[in-house]
Amino acid sequence: MYVQRCIECGREYDPREIAYTCECGGLLEIVYELDMVDTSFVSSGEPLSVWKYSSLLPVEITPVSLKEGGTPLYECEKIGQELGVELYVKHEGMNPTGSFKDRGMTVGVTKAIELGMKVVACASTGNTAASLSIYGAKAGIPAVVLLPHEKVALGKVAQALMHGARVLSVRGNFDDTLALVRELCTSEGFYLLNSINPYRLEGQKTIAYEIADEMGWESPDRIVLPVGNAGNISAIYKGFVELKKLGIIDNVPMMTGIQSEGACPVVDAFERGDEDILPVKEPETVATAIRIGNPVNAKKALNAIRESKGFAERVSDAEILKAQRELAMAEGIGVEPASAASVAGLKKLRELGVIERGERVVCITTGHLLKDPETVLKNAPSPIEVDATIEAVRKVVF
Ligand code: F0G
């Protein structure tokens, strides 16, 4: 059994109540009676997937699933050696729509069906929209997605359109679209599937379960990941905490959140030692996925970072693009810019001495390279155009 509980005042809500936030304004989280949880997944030998851990997921019906999760954990010896750490990359770009959002959406859309909702909706910098669109299609429930006009990477817009969501391009930034969709969901009775929805985050916490599972139920020392609306870092932290409370792992890794210089309210608050963020009015970064000035889950994220003795750091667009190239060229891992912020952050924190030599680090690469081909083409040399003769070809190869 489980309830929805406010992280601020502790007030509990029935699991069927559609609240999103507490009356006091606090964020909600799903809390389980952990001593009742079946933990046979620890030794079942079942392949990794979101639903392998269904005893820790708040769902009562057959899931709306496209086989999400089970993403590869790559050991990255080259970059790891260069930085003096034991480095792994959990490549969430290998999910059905090419981002980690699918973990949350399989749970969130299933919940929408379970609760008898008629329409699902979200605001998005792109990946949430792509994901909601495919799970909406699979479940046969209409999906509405609000995107910030001209600030969403091409692949994500294509996905949302192709899978049949009603796609709105809003003249405003992500924070504006999120405020709008919250109002829309209240007035129209649509089910809101942004990460303020605590059920969606439950799916995302399975990233933690899979990492621990694959490491033989041991934790890495540190998790490094990009932070936008701040849901994922909160969810992954919750996943590790639950495993520790269940006695399955001994330690919770240091949660380390990376933002872009042009959109880093969580890093600013962390540095000030504040519990609350000051929103950034005009966020800007090449990593459009995390171009967010007023993250709704900031409180949960700051808790996660502080309680785990983690860290928050900002990186520049140039550092992000450099890390994206290095991951692609040295390790064969193709990620979108936001995802590369994790590796850029790892580099910076090694240089600053925050991350120590020899640490076992897992970077989460949240989205696939093909999400944002335009940024790649803008920053890579053009293909070499040649005549269709062997001489011409020979002349330009190595
Ligand atoms: N990386 C990628 C590729 C993302 O798409 C996002 C968020 C994040 C990182 C940050 O995750 O918001 O949980 O802190 N994208 C959202 C979207 C906002 O609408 O697709 P977060």
Q: Is the pLDDT of residue 398 over 90?
A: no
161 inside domain: yes
Do the beta carbons of residue 106 and residue 120 sit within 8 Å? no
What per-residue confidence (pLDDT) applies to 245? 98
Q: Is the pLDDT of residue 107 over 90?
A: yes
Buried/exposed 225-246: b ≥16 CB within 10 Å, e otherwise: bbbbbbbbbbbbbbbbbbbeee
Would you tell me how many other CB atoms lie within 10 Å of the CB of residue 74?
A: 17
Where among 182, 198, 214 does a domain terminate? Answer: 198
Q: What is the extent of the structural domain holding 89?
A: 73-98+200-379
2-60: pLDDT as tens digits: 999 999 999 999 999 999 999 999 999 999 999 999 999 999 999 999 999 999 999 99
Whether 219 and 334 share a structural domain: yes
What per-residue confidence (pLDDT) applies to 334? 98
Whether 87 and 128 share a structural domain: no
312-361: pLDDT as tens digits: 999 999 999 999 999 999 999 999 999 999 999 999 999 999 999 999 99
Name residue 224's beta-bridge partners: 256, 363
Ligand 1 centre to CA of 98 (Å) is 12
pTM equals: 0.98
Ligand 1 centre to CA of 121 (Å) is 16
What per-residue confidence (pLDDT) applies to 269? 98
What per-residue confidence (pLDDT) applies to 194? 98
91 inside domain: yes
Whether 292 and 307 share a structural domain: yes
> Among residues 239, 349, 245, which one has the least CA distance to residue 304?
239
CATH number at residue 350: 3.40.50.1100
Whether 306 and 374 share a structural domain: yes
CA distances from 181 to 1, 42, 196, 278 (A): 30, 39, 12, 22
What per-residue confidence (pLDDT) applies to 355? 98
Whether 352 and 205 share a structural domain: yes
Q: Whose CA is nearest to atom 12 of ligand 1?
A: 229
Where among 164, 198, 232 does a domain terminate? Answer: 198
158-196: pLDDT as tens digits: 999 999 999 999 999 999 999 999 999 999 999 999 999
Q: How many domains does the chain have?
A: 2
> Among residues 139, 7, 99, which one has the least CA distance to residue 336?
99
State the amino acid at position 389 in one-letter form.
T
Average pLDDT, the chain: 98
Whether 156 and 208 share a structural domain: no
Whether 290 and 360 share a structural domain: yes
125-148: pLDDT as tens digits: 999 999 999 999 999 999 999 999
332 inside domain: yes
369 inside domain: yes
Whether 122 and 139 share a structural domain: yes
217 inside domain: yes
Whether 327 and 240 share a structural domain: yes
Q: Is the pLDDT of residue 217 over 90?
A: yes
Q: Is the pLDDT of residue 155 over 90?
A: yes
Ligand 1 centre to CA of 133 (Å) is 16
- Residue identified by tokens 């667009």 is 317
Report the C-alpha gap between 23 and 75 in whole angstroms: 45
Where among 157, 179, 198 does a domain terminate? Answer: 198
CA distances from 228 to 78, 165, 287 (A): 28, 23, 10
Whether 138 and 251 share a structural domain: no
113 inside domain: yes
Do the beta carbons of residue 25 and residue 72 sit within 8 Å? no
Q: Is the pLDDT of residue 61 over 90?
A: yes
What per-residue confidence (pLDDT) applies to 125? 98
Supply 145's token pair: 């997605």
State the amino acid at position 296 in one-letter form.
V
Ligand 1 centre to CA of 289 (Å) is 5
105 inside domain: yes
> Among residues 217, 265, 237, which one has the least CA distance to residue 364?
237
Task: Report the residue among 99, 105, 147, 258 best suited for mutation to probe ligand 1: largest number of ligand atoms under 8 A from its CB.
Answer: 99
Whether 130 and 240 share a structural domain: no
Ligand 1 centre to CA of 35 (Å) is 32
Whether 343 and 220 share a structural domain: yes
In sequence order, which residues have a C-beta less than 8 Å from that of residue 267 and are 6 or more positions away? 257, 259, 312, 313, 314
Can you say whether the dihedral through the CA atoms of 196, 197, 198, 204 is positive or negative? negative
**Burial status of residue 194 (CB atoms within 10 A of its CB: 0-12, 13-18, 19 or more):** buried
Name residue 244's beta-bridge partners: none
Ligand 1 first shell, C-beta below 6 A? 99, 101, 124-128, 195, 226-232, 289-290, 336, 338-339, 366-367
180 inside domain: yes
Q: Whose CA is nearest to atom 19 of ligand 1?
A: 124
